[in-house]
Chain A
Amino acid sequence: MNLKEILKPLSRFVSELGMVGYLFFQCALLAFQRPLKIDYIVRQMEFVGVKSLPVVFLTGTFTGMVLALQSYYGFRKVGAEGLIGVTVALSMTRELGPVLTGLMVASRAGSAMAAEIGTMRVTEQIDALVVMALNPVKYLIVPRVIASFLMLPILTIIADVLGILGGYFVAVKLLDVGEGIFLNRMYRYLEFHDIYVGLVKAACFGIIFSLICCCKGFYAKGGAEGVGKATTEAVVASCVSILVSDYILTSLLF
């Protein structure tokens, strides 16, 4: 294998990173340019936010429940069942709430973004916008990125609350951990900063997945097959980017 072949994936990665970065700056500039297209943003907020409620609902609840169950198993060995409440709360708010919400919404709404914009690309609808002298980034990408940026923290709050409720249900109602100690430890050790860190991360994940998915769709080519490929790549790239950026953001916001 020669050097060129080895460097090919790397150069592709760099060029895709460049495309996403370019779109990010375009979005940042266009977001504040009139007309603001509030109606487009609201429609996307409904799609990204409201329509993601069921999946976030289920993910949040069951994650909290299983967290309580697993930590019960561990803590019982050292007689520290009282710490289940705070363990569930910290894990949900700092880590699992934002990350799982990000992953679920990226697979649900992000795949739809890539497929929709990709289809618009291959059926020349994006060209149609351009020849009408309208900026497709402004009409198609900016509303989706803004909507994801705004809705992910809200969805994360819901996931956090439901996760803690799920954990409470399993620990207190099913496993007979004392209600007082469960709540007391949680109140004492959970700080506002923990919730805040989680929400900042969620907002960043919103920007990351929506930009990647829109970008993949926007530069899709090659008919239905191309759109399918773009959609798959979009979801995989979004999820990996969420996990990688999660580590970076956590270490920065610690």
Chain B
Amino acid sequence: MEDVVIRIVELKKSFENNRVLDGVNLEVERGKITVIIGKSGSGKSVLLKHIIGLMKPDSGEIWVDGVEITRLDESELNKMRTKFGVLFQEAALFDSMTIWENVAFPLIERTKMRKEEIKRIVDEKLEQVGLFGHDDKLPSEVSGGMKKRAGLARALVLDPPVVLFDEPTAGVDPVTALTILRLIQDTQRKLKKTYVIISHDIIGMFRIADKVAMLSGGKIIAYGTPEEIISMDVEEISQFLEAARIKEIGGKK
């Protein structure tokens, strides 16, 4: 089996004269955590939306499991999308449904499983993300961190081989961020799935990443393991590390 799940070739996208992606090249390896780091507005979310087929590029190719997806029609795209689970930035839980119903929703709509089976899987996933006992609450009644965990449970519930994360630690406190990172790491180790995370949280992501790609100026300017990235002499990276460092406490590098 080929060990590259997603291959992006010379991907370009502009919005009204603003070139957001300017020839992105990236390969995502199977069974690894790949983190795409970039500043706000560097086009990370746009890149993610291209991978899942929510946006069409101006030019370039995206290969998922050997299939070029930018020219697929909606029904073929839907087939491709069953390979993905997505955790959106604000979790994107349906606010008319409880946490439990949200996690059960893909199973109810996408499979022909019986009720007991669905209940077993949903309870198991909620247990996995530590939300068991909160399942009858509405998304508006729980904290941001809990929403993200519920979103993770929903993204994992159909057992997709690839899971995409849009800023999983944005907007939560550092302690909750760490719990979410551990959760991401634990589930990945246990389930051996391919995780693609986009984030600007460089310190947090270096803890869990197998591979890091730095997105800047619409291009991937650096790619490698976290250690390789740190040792690279690229200005954007040193800027990022410098900005994230707390001088008095963690000032050693």
Contacts and interface: CB of A to CB of B under 8 A. Distances in A.
Interface in B229-249: none
A122 to B, nearest CB: 10
Interface in A107-143: 119-120, 123-125, 127-128, 130-134
A130 B92 contact: no
A128 B110 contact: no
A130 B90 contact: no
B109 A134 contact: yes
B105 to A, nearest CB: 8
Contacts of A130: 54, 81
B132 interface: no
B106 interface: yes
Nearest to A134: B109
Given A119-B95, A130-B81, 5 more contacts: A125-B94, A127-B54, A131-B81, A132-B105, A132-B109
A132 B90 contact: no
B81 A133 contact: yes
A156 to B, nearest CB: 28
24 contacts: A119-B95, A123-B90, A123-B92, A124-B89, A124-B90, A125-B92, A125-B93, A125-B94, A125-B95, A127-B54, A127-B86, A127-B92, A128-B86, A128-B88, A128-B92, A130-B81, A131-B54, A131-B84, A132-B105, A133-B78, A133-B81, A133-B82, A133-B110, A134-B109
Contacts of B11: none
A249 B24 CA distance: 54
A120 B54 CA distance: 15
B52 interface: yes
A118 to B, nearest CB: 13
A107 B82 CA distance: 39
Contacts of B86: 127-128, 131
Interface in B61-79: 78-79
Contacts, number: 40
Interface of B: 49, 52, 54, 78-79, 81-82, 84, 86, 88-90, 92-95, 105-106, 109-110
B198 to A, nearest CB: 14
B78 A124 contact: no
Contacts of B84: 131
Contact of A124 (B81, B82, B92, B105): B92
A125 B105 CA distance: 13
A132 B81 contact: yes
Contacts of A124: 88-90, 92
Contacts of B82: 133
B110 to A, nearest CB: 7
A134 B84 CA distance: 13
A123 B78 CA distance: 21
Contacts of B93: 125
B82 to A, nearest CB: 6
A128 B105 CA distance: 11
Contacts of B52: 131
Nearest to A116: B96
B106 A132 contact: yes
A105 B127 CA distance: 43
A120 B97 CA distance: 13
Nearest to B82: A133
A143 to B, nearest CB: 12
- Output the residue of A120, A124, A133 with the most chain B CB within 10 A: A133
Contacts of B89: 124
A123 B95 CA distance: 10
Nearest to B45: A124
Contacts of A134: 109-110
Contacts of B106: 132
A26 B90 CA distance: 29
A56 B87 CA distance: 43
A130 B110 CA distance: 12
A126 to B, nearest CB: 9
Contacts of A127: 49, 54, 86, 88, 92
